[in-house]
Amino acid sequence: MVLAFAGVSVATMAQSETPVEKYSVATNSFWSNWFIQGNVGATAFWGNQEVGNNFDKSPLKGFRLGLPTFSVAIGKWFTPGLGLRTKFFAAPLKASGRTVISEDKSTNESKSWMLSEQVLFNLSNMLLGYNEDRVWDFIPYAGVGLARNMSYNTYAPTWGVGILNEFKLSNKFAINLDVNYFIGLSDWDGVETALPGTSSYNPRSLKGLIANHDRTLNVELGITYNLGEATWNKVPDVDALKALTQGQIDALNAQLADANAENARLKNQLANSGGNDGPVTPRTITKVVAAPVSVFFNRGKADIASQKDMQNVKDLVEVAKANNAKLVVTGYADSDTGSAELNQDLSQRRADAVADELVNLGISRSNITVVAAGGVDTLTPPENNRRAVITIK
């Protein structure tokens, strides 16, 4: 049942997911991307002792179905596609647990819990690329654990698989639907022998391997809360940044060449004067030389993506203050994404956001000119066009 659900879900996801550009992400600190979960649900139980009898196998039968169940979990995503989770599952009421020894519901009530460690695989991010705005994440997992039947005072190791579906509400909260199937040794439910008149299947067959063990199917609904930083920052495109830096270096070299030419002209004028025309009046040349600074943004956003960009902005601000210089802030958007009207508005909001930061750093609003350049495709890959550039006038 779990594998069938996985196949249908992946196919649906592949057809409905809007294509997004895949990119690498930066590794977050150890304290980022933690989460906690709380769930309620129902469980259906099958025991090895009922092998070969005529009990109804439906998980919805009252003698097999227990509810409510409860679970809590804590976990961490180490990458957008791989995480670990520790989960405590409990059927603490007699009505919420089952030990199937008959088709009489009243004889099957029992209480139990299970603690398991699980490896999570976010296939949405692994197959389609990380997308901060994705609403649905499809997350299969596998785990091992230890279960205890409190009514019969027995313990058993368990192992199983599951599918966690997360539906994003915000960067902090998500609704989760968890479907899982776990198998344990025959003393999980407290009954170690077969019921009268039954016999085990061939243990070498797949059917026998499963049916000769206790097993449970659980369906849970709950809430996920993300702790600390819940998103992943994009790794800058090194080639694009090198190209941008080279452009700034070329501009500085051109300015330096102009300054050297002016110095040569002054030396030549001084040499040709020969001292016959009186003293040469010194000329003071004041010129502010500072490379443009870029501030980058995420797709469709006008909030500065990384505060690390602001360090270079602060350096430029100090130069501007010292020379009472005026600044020009030019906002850009990625022309490959969105309409021209949307990109024009987005580039304006990005430029305004950077201008606000400059004001916060002490630059007078009257010394700032804001320009909205709209959508462009001057840099590769396209996401490097999602920026605002500050230059000294």
Residue pLDDT tens, the chain, 393 long? 544 444 544 444 444 444 445 567 777 788 899 999 999 999 999 988 887 777 898 999 999 999 999 999 999 999 999 999 999 999 999 888 888 888 888 889 999 999 999 999 999 999 998 988 899 999 999 999 999 999 999 999 999 999 999 999 999 999 999 999 999 988 888 887 667 766 666 667 777 677 788 999 999 999 999 998 888 877 665 555 555 555 556 556 656 666 677 777 777 777 776 555 555 555 544 555 567 889 999 888 999 888 788 888 898 898 888 888 899 999 999 998 889 999 999 999 999 999 999 999 999 999 999 999 999 988 878 888 899 999 988
Q: In the prediction, which pLDDT does 251 show?
A: 57
With tokens 């501030």, the residue in question is: 295
DSSP letters, 86-105, are: EEEEEE-SGGG-B--SSS-G
Q: In the prediction, which pLDDT does 8 show?
A: 47
Expressed in angstroms, the distance from the first to the final Cα of the chain is 66
Amino acid at 174: A
Cα distance between residue 293 and residue 313, in whole Å: 6
Q: In the prediction, which pLDDT does 3 show?
A: 47
Q: In the prediction, which pLDDT does 23 show?
A: 60
pTM of the model: 0.59
- Inter-residue contact 73 to 87 (CB < 8 Å): yes
Could you check whether the bond before residue 381 is cis, i.e. omega within 30 degrees of 0? yes
Q: In the prediction, which pLDDT does 378 show?
A: 87
Longest Cα pair distance anywhere in the chain, in angstroms?
A: 129
pLDDT in tens, 44-103: 999 888 877 778 989 999 999 999 999 999 999 999 999 999 999 999 998 888 888 888
